Chain A
Amino acid sequence: KWLRLASAKLDVGVVLLSTHRLVWRDQKNHECCISIPLSQIIFFEEQAAGVGKSAKIVIHLHPAPTNKEPGPYQHSKFSYIKLSFKEHGQIEFYRRLTEEMTQKRWENTPASQPIPTATASQAGRTRAVGIVGIERKLEEKRKETDKNISEAFEDLNKLMVKAKEMVELSRSIASKIKEKQGDITEDETIRFKSYLLSMGIADPVTRETHGSGTHYHMQLAKQLSDMLQAPLEERGGMMALTEVYCLVNRARGMELLSPEDLVNACKMFESLKLPLRLRVFDSGVMVVQLQSHSEEEMIVSALDNVSDKGSLTAEEFAKLLGLSVLLSKERLLLAEKMGHLCRDDSVEGLRFYPNLF
């Protein structure tokens, strides 16, 4: 393949295509390398081979910009270049060029370096050759990454097929348990639930009869009970579940608990006779509460504080007790529910007063 210009200085070489430019490199002298940005191309067409002529691609170009890098020619009377394919490659090249000109990927990612068109030889490799090498490496890496991702997706697909089998098996078992086909022991049910836990499969059937907890959650409940005693004492006996979640997971650092793990473990406090309770307020807020801090005490404390100050908002109460606003509000609401406080709800805020009725 050779490139003929006004006078044939550039003869036999190889033409290369990247997402950003067209590069021609002399076959013998690799340091002779020129290129044109694809953005300069207006239009291109094929010229079929004939008797005595090789197939060509003619590329029509925009006028050279004023900031054009120095090249083999500063100007030419021709506004096009011709690539003559003496051996082969014209069809494939035409196809690739069409692709690149359609996608115009150079518009998305600016070429990182300006195009040096030096033909001067310097000691060692010239930049021009370096760029072509870099581009090839990038192309290889892109292909490698694509291959990795597609391999990963392929493997993922296969994995999911197997996982689906597990899900179907577990559903079959669950429906049999429901229909009572067979005689399942407690032991087997518990084992089945731990299998579900491992796979991340929800099971409403066994949840109804046996709750969501497993041995894992029982152990967790005991650990939590030990771990939360002191923090709970410091916070007036009550902590929002989200607070507990952060506290516990920050302490663990890894092998963290999922929100559901925490909830399921806390649900077991009572049955395991641990001194903590999970409590859900009307608002939906969930807290862990020391059993020793009874409801009675909380209501009395709320009433005392409110009476003492005449009236209190949740924020004021929070400040007094050193608690979070969220939990202070819940205590006030509880006292109100029990008839000890009443509210004044205005745009200035929600304020509680002792209920003198």
Chain B
Amino acid sequence: MHRRGVGAGAIAKKKFAEAKYKERGTVLAEDQIAQMSKQLETFRSHLEEFASKHKQEIRKSSQFRVQFQEMCATIGVDPLASGKGFWSEMLGVGDFYYELGVQIIEVCLALKHRNGGLITLDELHQRVLKGRGKFAQDVSQDDLVRAIKKLKAMGNGFGMIPVGGSYLVQSVPAELNMDHTVVLQLAERKGYVTVSEVKEGLKWERERAGHVLDHLLKEGLAWLDMQADGEPQYWLPALFSDLTSQDVSPEEANQMSP
């Protein structure tokens, strides 16, 4: 039983308002909420039925997951918003992506001392798969991207930067504007870049190029090789391929030139 305004005056006022609305054929919000409650129960049982038939499909098929996610987005539903949501509870989609989120955070944290908090989606994918072990459910890059989008809600600077046809995943709150992004994209080919290359490639002045590269150094995203032939080279650990990189412990990293 709800208690609205008490007193004869309030009751009369309410009756008047109700009559006015009903006259116009408008349904009151509170009636619709009651209606929604019923419809929700019905929907829940439909979802339950769907789950009993197809829950495996979601788990096994990344193609199905993509389709599912896209349809949800189209109708305006976020199946990953809450672990308490029907989708999560009944289809198990939640646990799949939230656990993936944990694994992504852990990989990024473990490598941060080496790459400054920037990692290619490929490398992230490989390492997450490795961490999950060979008997675990396979995950696609699309799955990772969706999990990362959810992680953004927690601050901490999770983001994705388009580079060379794929993405760099950022996991630190470093300020990266368009200039930084475009230099990263330029460096993607070789894993490093020089001031002259930035100047020529982007038609910038030396000062601007230097400024951007210094920022990357300060944020720990780039390392400076002063002993290279010719100009000093700014290397981006995030872009190193497995062939040219080697694992460095945090202590070793601190001792190297920034």
Contact = CB atoms under 8 A, between A and B. Distances in A.
Interface of A: 148-149, 152-153, 155-157, 159-160, 162-167, 169-170, 172-173, 176-177, 181-185, 187-188, 191-192, 195, 197-202, 216, 240-242, 245-246, 249-250, 254-263, 280-281, 283-286, 315, 325-326, 345, 347-350
Contacts of B80: 200, 258
A332 to B, nearest CB: 15
B156 interface: yes
* SS class, residues of chain A in contact with chain B: helix
Given A160-B75, A162-B42, 13 more contacts: A155-B54, A163-B72, A169-B36, A183-B17, A184-B30, A185-B2, A185-B4, A200-B80, A255-B95, A256-B102, A261-B83, A262-B154, A284-B155
A255 B254 CA distance: 39
Secondary structure at the B interface, as helix, strand, loop or mixed, is: helix
Contacts of B36: 166, 169-170, 173, 192, 195
B94 A149 contact: no
10 contacts: A153-B67, A170-B36, A173-B29, A182-B28, A183-B17, A188-B2, A191-B33, A242-B155, A256-B83, A286-B155
Nearest to B40: A195
Nearest to B172: A326
Contacts of A249: 98-99, 101-102
B204 interface: no
A263 B61 CA distance: 30
Interface string B51-82: 00110010001001001100110111111111
Nearest to A167: B76
Nearest to A186: B2
Interface residues of B, number: 75
A202 B81 contact: yes
Interface string B81-125: 111111111000011001101100110000010000000000000
Interface of B: 2-5, 14, 17, 21, 26, 28-33, 35-37, 39-40, 42-44, 46-47, 50, 53-54, 57, 61, 64, 67-68, 71-72, 74-89, 94-95, 98-99, 101-102, 105-106, 112, 150-157, 172-173, 214, 217-218, 224, 254, 258
A148 B224 contact: no
A144 to B, nearest CB: 13
Nearest to A286: B155
A257 B82 CA distance: 7
